[in-house]
Chains A and B, each alone.
Chain A
Amino acid sequence: MPALNTSSLPDIIFMLLFFFMSVTSMKEVSYKVQIQNPEATELTKIEKKSLARYVYIGSPMSEYREKFGSETRIQLDDAFAEVSEVGPYISNEWGAMSENDKKQMTVSIKADKNTQMKVITDVKEELRKVHALKINYAAVERTSY
Chain B
Amino acid sequence: MAKKIPEINASSMADISFLLLIFFLVTTSMDVNKGLARRLPPPMEEDKELDDSEVNERDIMEVKINWENKLLVEGEPLDVRELRAKAKEFVDPAITGENMPVVADTILPEPFGKQPFKNKHVISLQTDGETSYQAYLEVQNELVAAYNELRNECANKYYGKSFVELEEAEQKNIEAIYPVKLSEAEPKRY
Please give the residue numbers on chain A whose beta carbons come within 8 Å of chain B beta carbons, in ascending order. Answer: 6-7, 9-10, 13-14, 16-17, 20-21, 23-28, 37-46, 49, 52, 106, 108-109, 111-118, 120-121, 124, 127-129, 131-141, 145
Contact = CB atoms under 8 A, between A and B. Distances in A.
A43 B34 contact: yes
Given A42-B145, A108-B35, A134-B39, A16 B21 contact: yes
A125 B155 CA distance: 35
A124 B38 CA distance: 11
B53 interface: no
B141 A117 contact: no
Contacts of B29: 24-27
A133 B39 contact: yes
Interface residues of B, number: 48
B35 A120 contact: no
Interface string B14-42: 10111011001101111111111111111
Contact of A133 (B20, B32, B40, B132): B40
Contacts of B33: 25, 45-46, 49, 52, 108, 138
B160 interface: no
B71 to A, nearest CB: 14
Given A124-B40, A131-B42, A17 B35 contact: no
B43 interface: yes
A14 B27 contact: no
A7 B10 CA distance: 8
A21 B28 CA distance: 8
A17 B133 contact: no
Q: Is the interface of A mostly helix, strand, loop or mixed?
A: mixed
B14 A114 contact: no
Given A16-B21, A17-B24, A44-B34, 5 more contacts: A24-B24, A117-B187, A120-B136, A128-B41, A137-B137
Nearest to B186: A121
9 contacts: A25-B33, A39-B137, A42-B141, A46-B34, A113-B137, A114-B134, A120-B133, A133-B39, A137-B35
Contacts of B40: 124, 127-128, 132-135
A37 B10 CA distance: 45
B80 to A, nearest CB: 9
Contacts of B43: 128-129, 131
A26 B34 contact: no
Contacts of B27: 26-27
A116 B10 contact: no
B48 interface: no
A43 B36 contact: yes
B189 interface: yes
Contacts of B10: 7, 10
